[in-house]
Amino acid sequence: MLTGTIFDIKEFAVFDGPGMRQTVFFKGCPLRCSWCHNPEGLCMQPQLMVSHASCTDCGRCRAVCQHETCIACGACVAVCPLRLRKIAGEAVSSEELVRRIRKNASYYARYGGGVTFSGGEPFMQHAFLLEVLKQIPDLHRAIETSGFCDQAVFEEVVRHLDYVMMDLKIFDEEKHLRYTGVSNQKILENARQLCSSDTPFVIRIPVIPGVNDNEENYRATAEFLQGAKALQKVELLPYHKTAGAKYSMLGMEYQPDFDPEAAVQTSAKLFAEYGIACEVL
């Protein structure tokens, strides 16, 4: 039995696939998008998060800490009277995760939903993910992914999914590399595979001011997707200025390499020209 690392299970999710769902957040991501709003999903290891705003400097956390450098042991979490501390990241066996998913599964099924695997990037822990998926074939199983993984892995995991939500962040390879830290070649290969499959899928574009919110990018994406039989829609997700809120909780600095104050340009109409439904969320 495999063990994975997750950092949250969100209940009653309504934007993570059809119906009402529970969303499991996997830790670890190979991309480094500077607009990421889930920085606790980036590294695989558990991390301490501290909300400094209302700290009274009572010193209880410092008194119990036995380590010069934080090892995310969690000892200080229990002693904070204001509950300002938490550990993001928990090791769970596939059996335990399935047990937690199944606990409320019939409720979500009644509302046309199921379970969604998100992150971080769930494909970073693909063997664990697969082991979980194989134990819940009766549930509606969806994924939110960057699509960055080897083609054989992608194909195998998608065989055990009912719905895929995948990002196509930037169509131009050089720009993709510059803004996310990786080439988009594997992502496009996997998207091509989805375009010829029968698995219902949604393409999501996080709309980042001055980075990908231009006609050239939208048109290249629309041309690529045109005619995909199981494509449900394209969703444009405009950048939110609050994206950097969690960085200071992790002791990280939020450093967007674009102008976060600039207005984003969306173009739902352009996708309609290609016969593709498009929503701006």
If the CB atoms of residues 50 and 187 are measured against ligand SF4, the closer one turns out to be 50
Q: DSSP for 112-128, please give it.
A: T-EEEEEES-GGGGHHH
Burial class of residue 263, CB neighbours in 10 A (0-12, 13-18, 19+): exposed
Residue 92, H or E segment: strand 90-93
CA angle in degrees (0–180, nearest 5) for 25-29-31: 135
Interaction between residue 29 and ligand SF4 (CB under 6 A): no
Cα 61 to Cα 45, 54, 73, 74, 106: the distances in Å are 21, 14, 12, 10, 41
Among 10, 11, 32, 74, binds ligand SF4 (CB under 6 A): 74
In the complex, the smallest distance separating the C-beta of residue 47 from ligand SF4, rounded to whole angstroms, is 9
Give the shortest CB-59-to-ligand SF4 separation in angstroms.
6
Which of 32, 67, 99, 159 contacts ligand SF4 by CB under 6 A?
A: 67
Which residues, numbered 84-123, are part of the site for ligand SF4 (CB under 6 A)? 84-85
Residue from 72, 109, 177, 237 in contact with ligand SF4 (CB under 6 A): 72
- State the DSSP code for 44: S
Instruction: Check binding of 281 to ligand SF4 (CB under 6 A).
Output: no
User: Under the criterion CB under 6 A, does residue 56 sit at the interface with ligand SF4?
Assistant: yes
Q: How far is CA 165 from CA 17, 146, 215, 233, 252, in A?
A: 8, 9, 22, 10, 28
Nearer to ligand SF4, 127 or 245 (CB): 245
- Binding residues for ligand SF4, rule: CB under 6 A, are 48, 50, 55-61, 64-65, 67, 70-76, 79-80, 82, 84-85
